Amino acid sequence: MSFSDDLRKLYAEQPILLAPMAGVTDAAYRIMCRRRGARLAFSEMVSVAGLAYANDKTWRLVVPADEEPQICVQLFGSKPEQFASAVEAVQERVGDRLTLIDINMACPARKVITKGEGSALMETPELAEEIARAAVARAQVPVTVKMRIGFRSDARNAPELARRLEDAGVAAVAVHGRTAKQLYTGQADWSAIDEVAQAVSIPVVGSGDVFTADAAVRMLRETAASAVFVARGSYGNPWIFEDALALYRDGVTPPVRDARERLAALREHLTLVHEHLPLMARARTFATWYLKGMPHAAQWRGRVVQCTTYEEFMALVDEIEADVA
């Protein structure tokens, strides 16, 4: 069996994957989603240049928590030799729980593309291929690539690039249906995802505007993608993974989660952050996601941004619970 076949099998078991999101998909976030149906989850992207001098704090972005059975690690950079060393280092640190290594050719952030990294690699396909070959040569796990449909609208080269990467030994590609220039605006073009899936024999993961279980199922049915990424659609809705799978497999309509259940999930998420990473500032962002649509949500949002400690957050949830009851 090839690595592509292995991935195809994993995708078939649960085709709804937690997408990589820098600043979001830390261990706590991933565990929230895993406890609700996500099987394959990605780390936040890490710099191959940074890994060469990584301290334990950087490695914490890569190495899964004890509770996590697996991890997909996403790397970004622009130097083939740095990718080769990073692949070896990640394999050594993560060990058996490493499912795959993904190369980021999708990130549109200015500070990334000005260095020729992320989505800028779509404009330098020779270098993109060289990087993929360097990673594949050292990898004992599948190497995948996440790209956009093109860097700009007049250069939508995802199908060509995907074919080239397939030749270089890449086991699967993911396509976010926007150009890099679009950032996160406009509507994702799912037909462009389908075009890539038609152009290659390796499995393709579709990404873009999967905000509901229904959208996940539609992308799977309307495109030739083997799996779909849920990114912003998991904000305050870690249930989307089990909901989408139940809808896809058995036609089960996703249940409505009431305020009580959402607040319990927020408590659980806060506790995971407290236990796994001392980054309570992140809680200010995700806490407001769970409060969306609740009575007095605007007022609670104002209070959330004032919280700094775990204890303050939990005391606030007590108040909100009392208000909702």
Does residue 20 belong to the site contacting ligand FMN (CB under 6 A)?
Answer: yes
Taking Cα atoms as reference points, which of 169, 175, 183, 321 lies closest to residue 258?
Answer: 321
107 is an active site residue:
yes
Residue pair 308/280 in contact (Cβ under 8 Å)? The answer is yes
Q: What's the chain's Rg over C-alpha atoms?
A: 20
At its nearest, how many Å lie between ligand FMN and the CB of residue 105? 8
Cα–Cα distance for residue pair 11/6, rounded to 1 Å: 9
C-alpha distances (whole Å) from 102 to each of 41, 165, 195 are 12, 12, 21
Question: Is there binding between residue 107 and ligand FMN (CB under 6 A)?
Answer: yes
Task: Determine which residue in the list 164, 232, 257, 267 makes contact with ligand FMN, applying CB under 6 A.
Answer: 232
Q: How far is the CB of 233 from ligand FMN (least distance, A)?
A: 5
N-to-C CA span, the chain = 55
Q: Does 146 bind ligand FMN (CB under 6 A)?
A: yes
Total of residues contacting ligand FMN (CB under 6 A)? 24
Give whole-number Cα distances, 283 to 233, 238, 264, 323, in Å: 17, 15, 14, 21
Residue 209 touches ligand FMN, criterion: CB under 6 A: yes
Q: Which of 52, 29, 40, 18 is nearest to 141 (CA)?
A: 40
Q: Give the residue, chosen from 47, 207, 237, 288, that forms a contact with ligand FMN under the rule CB under 6 A.
A: 207
231 counts as binding ligand FMN under rule CB under 6 A: yes
Single residue of 159, 169, 233, 238 touching ligand FMN by CB under 6 A: 233
Using CB under 6 A, pick the residue from 41, 45, 113, 283 that binds ligand FMN: 45
- In whole angstroms, the minimum distance from the beta carbon of 208 to ligand FMN comes to 5
Which residues contact ligand FMN by CB under 6 A?
19-24, 44-45, 74, 104, 106-107, 146, 176, 184, 188, 207-210, 229, 231-233
